[in-house]
Amino acid sequence: MKNSEILIRKYSDRRLYDIAASRYVKLDDIARMVRDGSNVRVVDGRTGKDLTHIILTQIIVEDAKERQLALPLELLTQIVRASDKATHDFLSWYLNSTLDLYQKAQTTVSSGFSQAKKAVSTPLDYVRDLLAGHSWPPAAEGGEVQQLRRRVEELQARLAKRKKPAGRAVKKKRRA
């Protein structure tokens, strides 16, 4: 995804001019730039006023006409009703938050698919990469492994002493 800003000037004759590319562009071109990840800013050619939100709204409306794909009527009604600043700010915040969550979920799912695909296609390489940089067995802190080894050796020695006969006479079982 690009993060570059593309400056577009809108002239009084409704033409849109890409400053960096030195060419006139259409709404479809701006939509493609935005979909490709570029930050597009549209300014009035005479006054310098930012018109980006108007142009992006126009793109949404044109897409809705062409594709018969529009925002839900209930949402559009709420946007129109959001005439006071507080309601408008809340609605903007809510929509931005929701879209951010959607994009994060989409990224997580796509990265999960790529990891799953890699794990299935080359399982040994996947496990090797997964364990890269990890010592095995994992090193314990403060010599804990050494302490545990000594303790195991002590317990084994005690157990070995118990198994040896200590010179006791073995009792025979009586027959009944």
Domain map of the chain by residue range? 5-70, 85-129
Length of the chain: 176
d(C-alpha 63, C-alpha 67), whole Å: 6
> Residues 129, 135, 136, 137: is their CA dihedral positive or negative?
negative
- Which is more confidently placed, 96 or 128? 96
* 3-state percent breakdown (helix, strand, coil) of the chain, nearest 5: 60, 10, 30
The residues, any chain, with a CB within 8 Å of residue 51's CB and separated by 6 or more, are 10, 42, 43, 44
Average pLDDT value for residue range 54-75: 81
pLDDT band at 1 (very low <50, low <70, confident <90, very high): very low
Q: How far apart are CA 103 and CA 96, in angstroms?
A: 11
Handedness of CA 30, 33, 37, 40 (dihedral sign): negative
* Average pLDDT over every residue of 86-101: 80
Cβ atoms of residues 82 and 88 within 8 Å: yes
pLDDT at 96 over 90: no
Question: Which residues on neighbouring strands pair with residue 24, listed in sequence order?
Answer: 17
User: Would the pLDDT of 3 be above 90?
Assistant: no
Which residues, listed in sequence order, are joined to residue 39 by a DSSP beta bridge? Answer: 5
Top pLDDT among 125 and 55 is at 55
- Residues linked to residue 129 through DSSP beta bridges, in sequence order: none
Inform me whether the pLDDT recorded for 165 exceeds 70: no
Res 47 pLDDT > 60: yes
